[in-house]
Structure 1
Amino acid sequence: MTAFRFAEPLCEGIIEKRKSQFTMVIQYEGQTYNAHCPTTGRVGNLDLSGRPCLMSKSSDPKRKMPFTVEAVSLNRPEDTDKSWIGINQNAANRYVEHFLTNGGFADMVGTGNEVHREQFLGISKLDFLVGNTYLEVKTPLQHLQLDIPDYVKTKKQTPFSSTDRMVKHFQELAGSLAEHQRAILLTCFIYDNPGFQVIERSTNYDEVRQIVDDCVAKGVETWQANFKLTPTEVALEKYFPIRL
């Protein structure tokens, strides 16, 4: 299976601090930079200061922040063989599109289908229409299903309640089944996640759970995909159906 290759290898730096929702302060080759943070939410319960990171560099000389942080690591900065956690949730759609068009998800959606991005369905804009299947991609980062080493700083987590967008997409997917053969919610992890679990319930968990159960009963499928990110590429490690 052909991996998704970065146009240029990612640069490795160290996060000094998360300055705001959209900005991290990075140390790279002895200099300090403001780098774009591609996720506005939290990355598990990690305090990202001191974490190694991988960054892509923009080719636009006018861009205010030339670097974008693509991944972080739980390894120590001096470790030579690091594992990476991808945090660019928008980039996940590019990875999914690459493998959809190259037959990587054959067991999920078959092969030879036309792949269309950003398709409107009702009041929602879903990520893909693959043949006759609507497919929505989610890349959760609020909780990391990983063992956190003792030397990694963590923070107290706040209750999570931002579920409106996910619920809307579930309901639109369920509604599409009257005219389409299939509808899939694909939960993506850019690290080796053993199998998605709800670790911490949202403040409106019972209401959301009922809606999800109703949509699954109508035929919405739920799948998981694990990607492995390195400085040069992203590989699709595995994908499989899951029960939420």
Structure 2
Amino acid sequence: MNNDFVFEEPLLEGVILKRRNRFIMEVEHDGTIHDCHCPTTGRIGNIVFEDIPCLLSRSKDPARKTAYTVEAISLDLRSQPEKNWIGINQNAANRYVEHFLKNGGFSKMVGEGEQEVMREQKLGISKLDFRIGDTYLEVKTPLVSLQVECGSHIKTTKAAPFSSTDRFVKHINELANSLNDNKRAIMLLCFIYDNPGFAVGVRSTNSNYVGEQVQKSTSKGVEIWQVNFRITPQKVEMMRYFPSIH
């Protein structure tokens, strides 16, 4: 049985001309330049967004100011017919994870058999992404560093220290606290491209503290897993998932 996440409408290919601000990318599609929604407000690698191929989804809301959302980018040449895509929609990542949770795609991680998959479950002072049976699961989609090779045609800027770690620390500690009443808790690092194995490419301004919190949480039993998806204009496929060793 094919359990891929299939888009209702195929994604459209365009070219990013400029990232005007955190929310808007100027994209040329079919000879017209559109203001398109950028679904992640943070940094995406250290890429300069000039002449970057992208995939767009069309909004179903006629009243929305931006008719398209940038779902993925490619660091391949514009002329390359078959491109490798990097998904950048962090909200969509949860939809992909939910789809594969419900279709048995993560059986080695959460177990086999039917289990209720519940979204946005309150835990302590947080709201975590999923609860499967008695296991809490939080999804993180790192994009600050892209672990892919860039050709000479890609312009980059100097990487700056990353400082927005408060939510990550809060969530991994809530996962650890959930083990007071539950047997398992999982942090899932989600990549919508073939990431060889997560590595911190840009240290944060409080990296030592974050590292201590991760070590403390994993010593209590929090599991860290990684999943790699492949996105194409037609669908999202699960490539592989595995425990992440730190």
Residue 62 of structure 1 and its aligned partner are, at CA, apart by 1.5
Report if aligned partners of 2:46, 2:156 keep a CA contact under 8 Å in 1: yes
CA distance in 1, matches of 2:159, 2:208: 20
Question: 1:16 aligned to 2:17?
Answer: yes
Gaps of 5+ in 2: none
Per-residue deviation, residues 46-92 of structure 1 (Å, max 9, x unmatched): 11110000000012222111100000001111110100000000100
Kept in 1: contact 2:179–2:185 (CA 8 A): yes
Structure 1: runs of 5+ lacking an equivalent: none
2:136 is matched with 134
Q: What number of residue pairs does the alignment pair up?
A: 244
User: In the alignment, which residue of structure 2 is the partner of 1:208?
Assistant: 210
Residue 145 of structure 2 corresponds to residue 143 of structure 1: yes
Q: Provide the residue aligned with 1:75 in structure 2.
A: 76
Give 1:165-244 correspondences, 5 Å limit: 165-244=167-246
Q: Secondary structure at the match of 1:148?
A: coil
For 1:132 and 1:221, the matched residues in 2 are separated by 14
Shift of 1:200: 2.1
Q: Distance in 2 between matches of 1:125 and 1:5?
A: 28
How far does the alpha carbon of each residue in 1:121-140 deviate from its partner, in whole angstroms, 9 at most, with x for none? 00000000001100000000
Alignment of structure 1 residues 76-91 onto 2, 5 Å = 76-91=77-92
Partner of 1:160: 162
Structure-to-structure mapping, 1:26-45, within 5 angstroms: 26-45=27-46
What one-letter code is carried by the residue in structure 1 that aligns with 2:14?
Answer: G
Q: Matches of 2:244 and 2:14 in 1, distance apart?
A: 35
- Code of the residue aligned with 2:120 in structure 1: it is E
Separation in 1 of the partners of 2:213 and 2:7? 38
Q: CA deviation at 1:208?
A: 1.0
Code of the residue aligned with 1:233 in structure 2: it is K
The percent of aligned pairs where both chains have the same amino acid is: 57
Q: Distance in 1 between matches of 2:29 and 2:203?
A: 38
TM superposition score normalised by structure 2: 0.98
**Partner residue of 1:100?**
101
Q: Which amino acid aligns with 2:164?
A: S
Note the aligned Cα RMSD (angstroms). 0.8
Q: 1:115: Cα distance to partner? A: 0.1
What TM-score does the superposition give when structure 1 sets the normalisation length?
0.98
Of the candidates 109, 117, 120, which is equivalent to residue 118 of structure 1? Answer: 120
- Taking the aligned partners of 2:27 and 2:216, their CA distance within structure 1 comes to 45
Judge conservation of contact 2:144–2:202 (CA < 8 Å) in 1.
no
1 CA distance for matches of 2:60 and 2:129?
Answer: 26
Partner amino acid, structure 2, of 1:123: I
